[in-house]
Amino acid sequence: MSDKYQGFTTTPVGKILVKNLGLPAPARLERWTEGAPLVDGTVLVGGVGRLAESLPGLLDTLGIASTAVKPEEGKLKGLVFDATGLTSAAELVALRDFSTPVLRSLAANARVVVLGTPPEQVTGSERVAQRALEGFTRSLGKEIGKGSTVQLVYVADGAEAAATSTLAFLLSPKSAYVSGQVVRIGAHAAKGATSGTVADETRPLAGKVALVTGASRGIGEQIARVLHRDGATVVGVDVPQAASELQALMKELDGDWLTLDITGKDAPQRIAHHLETQHGGVDVVVHNAGITRDKKLANMDDARWDSVIAVNLTAPELITRELLDQGLVHDFGSIVGVASIAGIAGNVGQTNYATSKAGVIGLVDSLADELAERGTGITINAVAPGFIITAMTAAVPFATREVGQRLNAMAQGGLPVDVAETIAWYAHPGSSLVNGNVVRVCGQMMLGA
């Protein structure tokens, strides 16, 4: 679905109005296509810390060109600054000294990544400095423009080697609609834990089985397609009413399907039985199925409240627990919940929906350390989409839809594939120290945390 306003801003009249009235001017976002390089350009690296010396080699293994010196000509496609060595507020000026001289040399759709140490793992002035990195990256994300993004990655001491999959995602067009986010690597990991490995980076999920609920259309369909692209055998789950669409998609992807109501009393057991007997277990579990039943709380009846909580929160919790208790999630597996920006910032008329999606974040919080203690490399994380353009949002009244799309740093809505790419990063075996995270896929909304 095209963004008509974005198209208008590129016309001669649109350009004049944007300039004179200060209207949003959404940039064309680059998105990764199969076979393309991860980064089409050069990344400038700098900083002093635990990762500084290894960064060029790490990027080289990903096929990403890097330099420690700003080129005299040409544009840069990214910046990576190692701030793990900053131990006081006075040293934070190093962020400015590195960034300011080169910001005007960034190409459109550039990527900026700052690496830090989790503040909770240090004390005193160092903790102050490391926590300050969040303000820097979130603000720069709202300034940078031209479809570019800024992220902060906290890397726990000892987890440096596990940063590869995260850098690959955040420096590439796969993270087109992710900006202003804070990612933690190794903060919820068993002592001495290592990341998984893959034989073929173009198909990191080869030989893996991925369960996707609500898979027949919209975001769920794109999740299934991207996980299949990365090599997974996809098992799609949806309600019986969507059986024909689900079967058609799974046949196209050479996958498997199961039709049931995930809120059914025996749904967790049926899903577990199917995965065990047909696939010998599962590697990736994506709780995507969700519904809305909007009303202001004063008018909220039992059916609207109960159904949303049951589908969006209770079912994912029960299914996850059943699969874990039966030992069906393989080592280095990934569990991903689809939350929402509504669960973080709230939304008028969505107390039921926002409650359920905040609960998904709670599920991540409650299980992250438990999974780390198992020492199997299984992780649980969540994505929190903002305004994603789907058939459902296309039905939203025009004025509401326009406001929803423009109130973010990129002044536009995201696409289902943006959510899917974020989930694929979580599912990558190399992301097994990425545990307990909630990443917003919202173009860095101006409202909310």
Q: Could you state, in order of their start, the residue ranges of all structural domains in the chain?
A: 25-185, 209-441
Question: Rounded mean pLDDT of 326-353?
Answer: 94
Tell me: pLDDT of 361 over 60: yes
Domain 209-441 fold: Rossmann fold (3.40.50)
Q: Is the dihedral of CA 236, 220, 427, 332 positive or negative?
A: negative
Strand partners, 153: 115, 183
Question: What integer pLDDT is reported at residue 447 of this predicted model?
Answer: 65
Question: Rounded mean pLDDT of 245-261?
Answer: 98
Question: What integer pLDDT is reported at residue 242 of this predicted model?
Answer: 96
Helix (H) or strand (E) holding 252: helix 243-252
Query: For tokens 């969700």, what's the residue?
Result: 290
* E strand map for 325-387: 329-338, 379-385
Per-residue model confidence as pLDDT tens digits over 203-250? 999 999 999 999 999 999 999 999 999 999 999 999 999 999 999 999
More confident residue, 400 or 370: 370
Per-residue model confidence as pLDDT tens digits over 163-185? 999 999 999 999 999 999 999 99
- Of the residues 5, 154, 177, 353, only one is catalytic, namely 353
On the CB side of 86, how many CA atoms lie within 13 Å of its CA? Answer: 28
Question: What integer pLDDT is reported at residue 347 of this predicted model?
Answer: 87
Per-residue model confidence as pLDDT tens digits over 390-445? 877 776 777 777 777 888 999 999 999 999 999 999 999 999 999 999 999 999 98
- Can you tell me the distance from the alpha carbon of 4 to that of 203, in angstroms, rounded to the nearest whole number? 35
Mean pLDDT across the chain, nearest whole number?
A: 94
Is 154 annotated as catalytic? no
CATH number of 25-185: 3.40.50.720
Burial class (CB in 10 A: 0-12, 13-18, 19+), 76: buried
- Can you tell me the distance from the alpha carbon of 437 to that of 433, in angstroms, rounded to the nearest whole number? 10
Tell me: pLDDT of 25 over 90: no
> Are domains 25-185 and 209-441 of this chain identical in fold?
yes
Number of H helices, E strands in the chain: 16, 13
Query: For tokens 């769920």, what's the residue?
Result: 220
Tokens of 181: 């986010």
Tokens of 17: 């109005």
Question: What integer pLDDT is reported at residue 390 of this predicted model?
Answer: 85
Which parts of 144-242 fold into alpha helices (H)? 164-170, 218-229
- Can you tell me the distance from the alpha carbon of 114 to that of 117, in angstroms, rounded to the nearest whole number? 10
